[in-house]
Amino acid sequence: MPAEPAIRIDNLMKRYAAPKGAKGEDAEGKLALKGVSFDVPEGSIFGLLGPNGAGKSTLINILAGLVNKTGGSAEIWGFDIDEHRRNASRAIGIVPQEIVFDPFFTPFEVLENQGGFYGIPARDRRSEELLEAVRLADKRNAYARTLSGGMKRRLLVAKAMVHSPPILVLDEPTAGVDVELRRQLWELVTQMNREGVTVVLTTHYLEEAEELCDEIAIINHGELIAHKPTADLINMAREKIVAVTLADDITAAPAHEAFSKVELAGARGVEVTYNKDKLSAGQVLAILQEQGMTVEDVTTREADLEDVFVQLTGTGS
């Protein structure tokens, strides 16, 4: 029997109210989600990927109880978000995109206050343990305003985990964040997942989704356009590239009906793009040799998520 999904989203719709006095098309309000359905498997790192304005935050904010949906349904940990709002909220911890703290609270106080908000008795709170987990134990008593951007993000993750939810959701955790901090956050997320937490993250960075996520749902203009295990999604791209260095300078570019693109790179470099359903890398090399070229060095490049994304959305990332 398959396990219950951590999150189930069924035909979710959101139309934002139109601004007062809006005319024509605007008078109907923005349709930000047009009936989106997918399940998030328990124990996964799940990526919700899409360009800016796709509807990612709208979806997350509906789960968080911050935005009212206009259609469809959602369950968190088996709890319908309308019928069992309290239980649904207790099963999820959300890290918002914006950093907001009272600058005069210390990390320890931020976590204690959040524990109080959830009605967790002082003796049962996990503030110390969580500060350790996000490597802020030495900043326990520092004012929040003195923390670096990276430390603040980590404190937000700890804050989202105060009530020990089985699901952690991060909305664009690494937007505008430097490489080092991005690495730190990825590590933290991976570690929490290893400890059994189901993680959902929204991102518009393909690289992030590709590296971290087991499964990816792509939304564009409020519609789900793909949902697959990451490896299957990448496999959807049919194009592959063979880059060769030839022994001699190129006199004429190689051409063949089975090649989809040929590009020259310097005096002795050739990159051949081909459809992997029609050719293999070996056949590409054989064709080059038939045309009188001696291949000295070869590398191949697999398609990545970016290729798939461009293919599906018809846009650049």
**Contact residues for 71 (Cβ-Cβ < 8 A; gap 6+):** 11, 12, 13, 14, 35
Confirm or reject binding of residue 30 to ligand ADP (CB under 6 A). Answer: yes
> 144, 150, 223: which is closest to 185 by C-alpha?
150
Confirm or reject binding of residue 16 to ligand ADP (CB under 6 A). Answer: yes
Confirm or reject binding of residue 96 to ligand ADP (CB under 6 A). Answer: no
Classified as helix, coil or strand, 14 is strand
First-to-last alpha carbon distance for the chain, in angstroms, is 38
The stretches of 161-215 forming alpha helices (DSSP H) are: 179-194, 206-212
Which option in ligand ADP, Mg ion, none does residue 203 bind, with CB closer than 5 to 8 A by kind?
Answer: none
Which option in Mg ion, ligand ADP, none does residue 68 bind, with CB closer than 5 to 8 A by kind?
Answer: none
* Closest CB 62 distance from ligand ADP, rounded Å: 10
> 96, 98, 107: which is closest to 146 by C-alpha?
107
Q: Which is nearer to Mg ion, 56 or 163 (CB)?
A: 56
Among the listed residues 6, 36, 54, 81, the single contact to ligand ADP using CB under 6 A: 54
| Secondary-structure percent of the chain, ordered helix, strand, coil, rounded to 5 | 35, 30, 40
Confirm or reject binding of residue 52 to ligand ADP (CB under 6 A). Answer: yes
Ordered strands of the 259-265 beta sheet? 259-265, 269-275, 239-246, 295-301
Residue nearest to Mg ion (CB): 57
Confirm or reject binding of residue 53 to ligand ADP (CB under 6 A). Answer: yes
Among the listed residues 7, 40, 58, 209, the single contact to ligand ADP using CB under 6 A: 58
Residue where the block lists tokens 């846009």: 315
Among the listed residues 44, 57, 203, 220, the single contact to Mg ion using CB under 5 A: 57
Angle at 228 between CA 226 and CA 234, to 5 degrees: 90
Confirm or reject binding of residue 50 to ligand ADP (CB under 6 A). Answer: yes
Residue where the block lists tokens 């206009």: 70
Q: Which amino acid is at 197?
A: V
Neighbours of 85 (CB within 10 A): 13
Residue 316 structure tokens: 């650049």
* Closest CB 154 distance from Mg ion, rounded Å: 20
Which option in ligand ADP, Mg ion, none does residue 47 bind, with CB closer than 5 to 8 A by kind?
Answer: none
CA distance 291 to 285: 10
Confirm or reject binding of residue 203 to Mg ion (CB under 5 A). Answer: no
* Closest CB 58 distance from Mg ion, rounded Å: 8
Which option in ligand ADP, Mg ion, none does residue 30 bind, with CB closer than 5 to 8 A by kind?
Answer: ligand ADP
* Closest CB 54 distance from Mg ion, rounded Å: 8
Among the listed residues 47, 55, 115, 165, the single contact to ligand ADP using CB under 6 A: 55
Among the listed residues 12, 56, 158, 230, the single contact to ligand ADP using CB under 6 A: 56
* Closest CB 104 distance from Mg ion, rounded Å: 29
Residues lying near ligand ADP in the complex (CB under 6 A): 16, 30, 32, 50, 52-58
Residues lying near Mg ion in the complex (CB under 5 A): 56-57
